[in-house]
A = this chain, B = another copy of it.
């Protein structure tokens, strides 16, 4: 099928290639299946399912920025109970692609409860814990607090036998530390990262553009920032990293691999080019083949030799 070995394994999660959608970017099978050939993906990633029903934030929910976008969608969700009652995971069974469910909640307990409800579900291959985006309740990003992060991951670890992928927020002083805590507490992989907090003001209306005032920034504008986080985290943990931020072509994916990622997620790029994930998959395979690599693993972290001086904070 491919010219090189681009498969990725995260515990029992086996992917034929390292490319999947970012949560919330290309999720519902029924909506997108007739545009994108979903069975070419390494994995299917669902939009975060919240513990309870949520309607999401008031419009406008999206804004264009220079080389990217902001969103304040706010995880509209039927809630995990209804999601399972409707047998949603089953719908993906027709595709021969592992399905990762992204889960979301307001408290550590919410995550644990969802893990409990998912345990043994035959249609799911892994769980991504979206700890980078609460927006409700305390308004705190679970992955930006060391104690909460550790507690939440650990509790889910006890509860779940699925591979656990922890999705981190980039809005922290030391993402490296958060990565280490997640690993120590039982994460099987990390997704780095979610969106960056951002603001756009409509100067004609003299108020914030988004209905929810602020939003999350994604797209090529933030690629160098997330790439930095992946690079730093790679030095700090031994579990695989899934790079996510601003991928608009296979070259971006290669940068992530060289920085230390084992797989990648494509978010906003899907909106701009609905065939992007396919192009990325093919591009990775071709790049490896043309540069004499037999396996994707040969380039993971290749630009991240411990010798290089990247320990410091800032270089100006």
Q: Which segment of A9-17, A109-117, A190-198 sits at the interface?
A: A190-198
A152 at interface, CB cutoff 8 A: no
Contact A206 B303 (CB under 8 A): yes
Q: A133-B314, A197-B228, A213-B308 are in contact. Are A221 and B169 (CB under 8 A)?
A: no
Q: How far is the CA of A233 from the CA of B67 in the complex (A)?
A: 25
A91 within 8 A of B: no
Asked if A162 lies at the interface with its beta carbon under 8 angstroms from chain B, I say: no
User: Could you pull out 19 A-B pairs where Cβ atoms are within 8 angstroms?
Assistant: A24-B316, A66-B223, A75-B316, A133-B314, A134-B313, A139-B311, A139-B313, A194-B314, A196-B224, A197-B228, A198-B224, A199-B227, A199-B259, A201-B258, A206-B302, A207-B308, A208-B308, A208-B310, A213-B309
Q: Which residues of B contact A132 (CB under 8 A)?
A: 314
Residues of B within 8 A of A65 (CB): 223-224
CA distance A73 to B200 in the complex (A): 30
A295 nearest CB across to chain B (Å): 15
Cβ–Cβ contact B199 & A173, under 8 A: no
CB distance from A247 to the nearest CB of B (A): 12
Is A144 on the interface with B (CB-CB < 8 A)? Answer: yes
**Interface on A for B, CB 8 Å cutoff?**
24, 48, 57, 65-68, 70-75, 130, 132-136, 139-141, 144, 169, 171-173, 194-201, 203, 206-208, 210, 212-217, 220-225, 227-228, 231, 246, 251, 254-255, 258-259, 299, 302-303, 305, 308-316
- State the main secondary structure of chain A at its contact with B: loop
Would A217 and B225 count as touching, CB distance under 8 A?
A: yes
Determine whether the beta carbon of A197 is less than 8 Å from that of B72.
no
Are A171 and B169 within 8 A (Cβ)? no
Check B73 against A135 for contact (C-beta < 8 Å).
no
Chain B residue, CB-CB nearest to A224: B198
Q: How far is the CA of A85 from the CA of B75 in the complex (A)?
A: 60
Name the B residues within 8 Å of A73 (CB-CB): 315-316
Enumerate the 4 nearest inter-chain pairs by beta-carbon distance, A residue then B residue, closest first.
A139-B312, A198-B224, A221-B221, A72-B315
Inter-subunit contact A225/B201 (CB<8 Å):
no
**Complex contacts, A220 vs chain B, CB 8 Å:** 66-67, 221
CA A223 to CA B258, docked complex, whole Å: 27
Distance A215 CA – B316 CA, assembled complex (angstroms) = 7
User: Within 8 Å CB of A210, what residues of B?
Assistant: 315
Whether the pair A313, B221 counts as a contact (CB closer than 8 A) is no
Chain B residues in 8 Å Cβ range of A215 = 315
CB distance from A299 to the nearest CB of B (A): 8
Contact B315 A203 (CB under 8 A): no
Which of A24, A207, A208 is most buried by chain B, counting CB atoms within 10 A of its CB? A208
Query: Min CB distance, A73 to chain B, in Å?
Result: 6
- The distance from the CB of A155 to the nearest CB of chain B, in whole angstroms, is 20
State in angstroms the CA–CA spacing of A130 and B313 once bound together. Answer: 13
Given contacts A207-B303, A212-B309, A231-B214, A134 and B314 within 8 Å (CB-CB): yes
